[in-house]
Amino acid sequence: MSTPDDPRDANPKDPEELRFHYTPSDEPKPEQDTDNAHATDTTRVPEVIDALRKEFGAAVLDVERYANEDTVYVEKSRIREICRFLKAEESFEYFVDLGGIDNFTAEDRYEVFYNLVSIERQKRIRLKVRVDEEDMRVPSVTEVYRAANWNEREAYDMFGFEFVDHPDPRRMYMPEDFDYHPLRKEFPQLGVPGSLPLPPQTPDGELTMDPFAAAHGSQPVKSYQEPATDPDSE
């Protein structure tokens, strides 16, 4: 795989890339914006971050804050321990959400975030791990939070993370016969022609392919490894 670049600079002629672009606002991110009308106290967890730092030291990489929300970047290999610690010691017993983000950068391309809630303390915390394209393995947290099961399957389906020790590594939404991971940035919005068959037109006929995506020139762009296809198919 070639190094992915900023998608906007990649190939301006490419029809897939012709999004209308605006001047990005260059205002620096406000450091402490408690004036955000929608910010709440529930997302500020300084004492939890202190406890994490004390317990795990260098594994807590970074702390970010936007709109009064704390995001803790932690080391990928220790995410399971950190979750166990948060659940046992800091009473974050309710698992809310997990998902992936494709940043489309050369290194640390992906991120996985974990959204945890402590009902007792009325706090929310968001953990993030950075995942490199070369090594898509992420330790699964299902043994700590049982509810993470389907969310991890979904992240695997959409981004292709490999959750180590996941009890049920199947796709969540797409059928297993599908070869791609659609939420990656290089996956075309209209899909890859021929990747999903349509039913036959007669009760005992052959499968058909959707003519739509191909007619609109939808092709996988750049840096995307074609899955091994059978030359006889289609």
Partner 1 sequence: MAGSSGTNGQGFFTTRVDTFLNWARSNSLMPMPMGLACCAIEMMGFAGPKYDAARFGSEAMRFSPRQADLMIVAGWCSYKMSHAIRRVWDQMGDPKWCIAMGACASTGGMHRCYGVVQGVDNFLPVDVYISGCPPRPESVLHALMDIQEKIRNEYSVVQDYEVGAAGERAPIMPENTSKFPGQLEKPKASGLTLEAPDTGADGAEDSSSPAPVAA
Partner 2 sequence: MAQPQKPDFPGHDLGDQFRFWPKHNEKIYERLETKHAWLEEKRAAAQGDGKPAGAHAPEADPLENEMILNIGPQHPATHGVLRCVVKMDGETIEKSVLDIGYLHRGIEKLAEHKTYQEFMPYTDRMDYLSPYSNNVAWCLAVEKLADIEVPERAQWIRMIMSELARISSHCLWLGVGMMDAGAVSGFVWTFQEREEIYSIMDEVAGARFTVSHSRIGGVANDFSPRAIEMIRDFVDKFPSRVEGWEGLLNKNRIWVERNKGVGRVTREEALELGLTGPNLRGSGVPYDVRRFEPYLKYDEVDFTIPVREEGDCLARYFLRLDEMKQSVRIINQCLDRMTEGPIRSDDAKEAYPSKEEVYYSMEGMIHDFMYTDVGTVPPKGAHSYHAIESPKGELGFYLTSDGTGRPWRVRINAPSFSNLQAMEDMLEGEMVADTVVIIGSLDPVMGEADK
Could you say whether residue 192 binds partner 1 (CB under 8 A)? yes
Q: 96 contacts which partner out of partner 1, partner 2, none, CB within 5 to 8 A by kind?
A: partner 2
Q: 208 contacts which partner out of partner 1, partner 2, none, CB within 5 to 8 A by kind?
A: partner 1
Kindly give, in sequence order, each residue whose CB lies less than 8 Å from that of residue 56, ignoring residues fewer than 6 positions away: 74, 78, 81, 82, 85
Q: 225 contacts which partner out of partner 2, partner 1, none, CB within 5 to 8 A by kind?
A: none
DSSP for 199-227?
PPSSTT---EE-HHHHHTT----SS-PPP
Q: 212 contacts which partner out of partner 2, partner 1, none, CB within 5 to 8 A by kind?
A: partner 1
Least distance from C-beta 81 to partner 2, angstroms? Answer: 19
Which is nearer to partner 2, 53 or 171 (by Cβ)? Answer: 171
Least distance from C-beta 75 to partner 2, angstroms? Answer: 20
180, 164 contact by CB (below 8 A): no
Could you tell me which of 87, 89, 142, 88 has the C-alpha nearest to residue 116? 87
Which is nearer to partner 1, 4 or 191 (by Cβ)? Answer: 191
Please give the sequence-ordered ranges of beta strands (E in DSSP) within the chain, or none if there are none.
60-66, 69-74, 94-102, 110-118, 123-131, 137-139, 162-164, 197-198, 208-209
Which is nearer to partner 1, 85 or 187 (by Cβ)? Answer: 187
Could you say whether residue 212 binds partner 1 (CB under 8 A)? yes
User: What CA–CA distances, in Å, run from 148 to 1, 61, 156, 199?
Assistant: 30, 23, 12, 34
Contacts with partner 1, residue ranges (CB under 8 A):
173-175, 182, 187-192, 196-201, 203, 208, 210-213
